[in-house]
Amino acid sequence: MRRLFLLLLFLVASVWFGLTIMRHPGFLYVVYQPWMVQMPLWFALICLFIIFGLFYLVVTGIDKVVFLWFRMKNWLRFRREHRSYSKTQHGLTTLIEGRWKGAERLLLNGVNQSIDPLLNYLGAAKAAHEQNAFERRDKYIQTAYHVAPQEELAIGLVQATMELQQDRLESAAATLNHLLTLSPKHPQILRLLEKVYVRSSNWENLLALLPDLRKAQLITTEQSVQFEKNIYCEQLLAATNKNNEALHQLWNNMPRSARKNPEVVCAYVKQLQHNGHANHEIEELIRKTLKSHWQPELVTIYGTLPFTNLNRQLVIVGAWLKMYGPHLETRLTLGRLCMRVQLWGKAKDYFKKCLEDGFNPAASLEYGKLLELLGETDDAIAVYKAGLGDGMTEKTLVVLKRP
């Protein structure tokens, strides 16, 4: 209904306009010396309308052409990026599959058309590293720093990981320590630094790193204590070529808790023995430690010390037997001490009890020596054979059962 009304209105207006023009045709004069153009007003209006229409069509056409060109450019760019993405994705997949040469080629092919080529260069560096092409790897790493300087942390972690795999421990430590200044609490940096220090036996720096590892919750408090204990033991074991003064200084610089740890004490005692240190200090250190902590190696070392008051030592070791139970090391030490004070019967009993628990070369050797000393050569040979791994023969069993 509305359309019909508008159509009728348009027809009425057209008729009115036509009649008005016929009654008052009017003329339009355009003068531009030396020309003069005369035309009816209605014709001029129609021409003006046509000109405006053509202008509108031209402007709209140009806009559509520009928009079409813009769409074409976007489509070409999207197609190029998609192809680059496909190459990069294929290259990363090939890298995961371990096909290093193909991965390197695909990732490099995707670099030129990629918006962010960082992953391409890092993946290519990994592929080159696995092919032992270390010069190419370093070139890709440097290029990655150049194209994405804001990603120094990520690039540095990749670089340090590959340096660690190549066993370039000093370079890896330098890279990681630089990254640590950029991000002091970064867990991956701390993990890699821990590995570098362990592999390079850099115990002092590893000890200094432990608080950061705890704060980053990479290790628990119990693990930290175990870590510290292992570090102090390694420091002592590495002190083989140090003199007594340097060894004492290393020991005194350790915290009190470490000096009470039986395993750390054991490592220190071994170094003191190696340096030919005074036995009375070793004996006192072992005694103090075993008053509160059991450590079988300390008991074994105690039995090899050249004592002067053997009866006193027998009483001390006997007290350990009552305190900590019938351990193999305690019985073996008691047997050795009994041999030295010529308590042959007791020595035999202790060595037999050691061998009753199973194969034990040290106990077999000591028992064999005792039997040989007592003139029981055949029995000594049988015990020696058992200690060499020949097993418990009938002869050996008879010797063990003999009073």
Q: How far apart are CA 299 and CA 349, in angstroms?
A: 18
Give the pLDDT of residue 114. 63
The number of folded domains in the chain is: 4
Give the pLDDT of residue 394. 45
Question: What's the whole-number average pLDDT of the chain?
Answer: 81
Is 45 a member of any domain? no
| Residues 391, 362 within the same domain | yes
Please check the confidence at residue 25 and state whether its pLDDT lies above 70. no
Confidence of residue 17 (pLDDT cuts 50, 70, 90): low
CATH of the domain at 314: 1.25.40.10
| Residues 231, 282 within the same domain | yes
Q: Look at residues 258, 278, 306 and tell me which one is the last residue of a structural domain.
A: 306
Residue-wise pLDDT for 158-209, tens only, equals 999 999 999 999 999 999 999 999 998 899 999 999 999 999 988 889 988 9
Mean pLDDT is highest, among 141-155, 228-242, 290-304, for 141-155
Mean pLDDT for the stretch of residues 22-49: 70
Mean pLDDT for the stretch of residues 97-111: 88
Give the DSSP H or E segment for 184: none
Q: Look at residues 147, 174, 192 and tell me which one is the last residue of a structural domain.
A: 147
Is 382 a member of any domain? yes
CATH of the domain at 128: 1.25.40
Mean pLDDT for the stretch of residues 324-335: 86
Is 8 a member of any domain? no
Mean pLDDT is highest, among 100-114, 116-130, 374-388, for 116-130
Q: How far apart are CA 16 and CA 95, in angstroms?
A: 82
| Residues 319, 399 within the same domain | yes
Q: Which residues make Cβ contacts (< 8 Å) with residue 207, sequence separation at least 6? A: 228, 231
Is 6 a member of any domain? no
Q: Do 388 and 361 form a contact (C-beta atoms < 8 A)?
A: yes
Is 42 a member of any domain? no
Q: Do 124 and 140 form a contact (C-beta atoms < 8 A)?
A: yes
Mean pLDDT for the stretch of residues 260-287: 84
Is 80 a member of any domain? no
Confidence of residue 321 (pLDDT cuts 50, 70, 90): confident
Give the pLDDT of residue 85. 53
What one-letter code names the amino acid at 134? F
Provide φ and ψ at 377, rounded to 5°: -65, -45
The bridge status of strand 27-32 relative to strand 35-40 is: antiparallel
Give the pLDDT of residue 143. 93
| Inter-CA distances, 264 with 119, 197, 258, Å | 47, 20, 7
| Residues 291, 322 within the same domain | no
Question: For the chain, how long is the longest CA-to-CA vector?
Answer: 160
Residue-wise pLDDT for 348-370, tens only, equals 888 888 877 766 788 778 777 87
Is 330 a member of any domain? yes
| Residues 383, 327 within the same domain | yes
| Residues 312, 390 within the same domain | yes
| Residues 267, 284 within the same domain | yes
Confidence of residue 395 (pLDDT cuts 50, 70, 90): very low
Residue-wise pLDDT for 107-127, tens only, equals 888 887 666 788 889 999 999
Find the domain containing 375 and state its range: 308-403
Q: How far apart are CA 279 and CA 164, in angstroms?
A: 44
Give the pLDDT of residue 397. 45
- Counting residues of the chain whose pLDDT is more than 70, the rounded percentage is 83
Is 31 a member of any domain? no
Ranges of beta strands (E only) in 130-271 are: none
| Residues 246, 299 within the same domain | yes
Q: Look at residues 306, 333, 365 and tell me which one is the last residue of a structural domain.
A: 306
Length of the chain equals: 403
